[in-house]
Amino acid sequence: MNIGKQIILHIAVIALLAALDYVLPAYHQGVFSRIMVLAVFAMGYNLLFGYTGLLSLGHAMFFAAGLYGAGLTVYHLGWALPLAFVAGVGCAAVLALAIGLLALRTTGVAFMIVTMMFAQVLYLATLYFGQWTRGDEGIVLPQPTRLVEFAGLHFDFSNPVTRYYAALVLFAAVLLITLGIVRSRFGRVLIAIRENEDRTRMLGYNVFANKLAAVVISGAISGASGAAYALLFGYVGSTFASVQYSILPLLWVLLGGASTTLGPLLGTVLMYYLVDFSSDVLARAVPDWNFSYLGVVGIALIVLVLFFPKGIFGTIRAHWARWLP
């Protein structure tokens, strides 16, 4: 049965990531912690873009809502980490609800522009309220604020191993939630909406309500990623609200495979290392060119759209493994 294969594959990926902690050098362990958190952002984006067919160019606002919701409550209000994480996710979910109610009145290109504009508003707000956010400079969460006590155990999220497993727990939870959504009745309706919105409506489905639910869940997952990023890496800055962080999840999802559950992880891993290595090579080859990293991202996007539209897992599914969710 497909469900059996799907569950085994997903558990195997989680187990592989757990095992990697034992073999990865310190630098790559840190990179993978970051990748797992960013892959959660990509999974949230994928739910809306890949499965529902809504192309948002403003998802940085949900990531940033989680980031600031968690980071500012810890820094200014001294909230405990679990509560701050919930606050981050809550901020993103409420923002997604408000944005969804407005932006879903539009479709296609208008939806892209409206989401991008709202994200720009949030980005500018993070600069405008600099006395709280410290704008571009950002806020570094001191190490003592990143300690948490749970069931008599002490966790220090500035410790690389603790951070790795915290990232893994979040990633695993969101991966399994995504698999559950995709296989559920709701997930199938989202796919139907992506395939033919009018037809779905004529079959008796409330398309607006289902799309709104997708925006809220997608925003909440992206916010969970942002909140985790703030708490695990101890930094909150307006860069994460910029348009670049709306484009990146699109790129990760396109590379790994839109509307595949594992595509976002693979896309994030590959793009992260592609940028990392190529930036290094380009920095040596053309030391005066400071935008080498953005150049690599741009070229990757063009190549993907032109020659590899289904992404890696999308291509594998189309040709060899129809059962991939």
Partner 1 sequence: MADALTVSGLDCYYDETQVLFGFDLTLEKGEVHCLFGRNGAGKTTALKAIMGLLPARTGSIRLGDKELTELAPEDVARAGVAYVPQGRRLFGELTVAENIEIGLMARNRGKATREAVLDLFPLLRERLKQRSSTLSGGEQQMLAMARALCLEPEVLLLDEPTEGLMPSMIAKIRETVAALGARGVSTLLVEQRVDAVLPVANRVTFIENGRNVETVPVERLREDPELAKKYVGVG
Binding site residues, partner 1, CB under 8 A: 185, 188-189, 191-192, 195-196, 198-207
Residue 44 CA to residue 279 CA, distance in Å, equals: 27
Nearest-approach distance from CB 218 to partner 1, in angstroms: 20
What's phi and psi for 274, nearest 5 deg? Answer: -60, -45
Nearer Cβ to partner 1 (198/288): 198
Closest approach of partner 1 to the CB of residue 4, in Å = 16
Q: How far is the CB of 113 from partner 1 (least distance, A)?
A: 24
Find the farthest-apart pair of alpha carbons in the chain and give their distance in angstroms, rounded.
Answer: 59
**40/193 with CB nearer partner 1:** 193
Of residues 203 and 305, the one with the C-beta less far from partner 1: 203
Calculate ∠ Cα 251-256-259, nearest 5°. 95
Q: Rounded to the nearest whole angstrom, what is the least distance from the CB of residue 2 to partner 1 in the complex?
A: 10
Q: Which is nearer to partner 1, 191 or 283 (CB)?
A: 191
Of the pair 79, 208, the CB lying nearest partner 1 is at 208
Q: Shortest approach of partner 1 to residue 210 CB, angstroms? A: 10
Dihedral over Cα of 225, 16, 317, 210: its sign:
negative
Helix 263-285 crosses helix 311-319 at what angle (to 10 degrees)?
A: 130
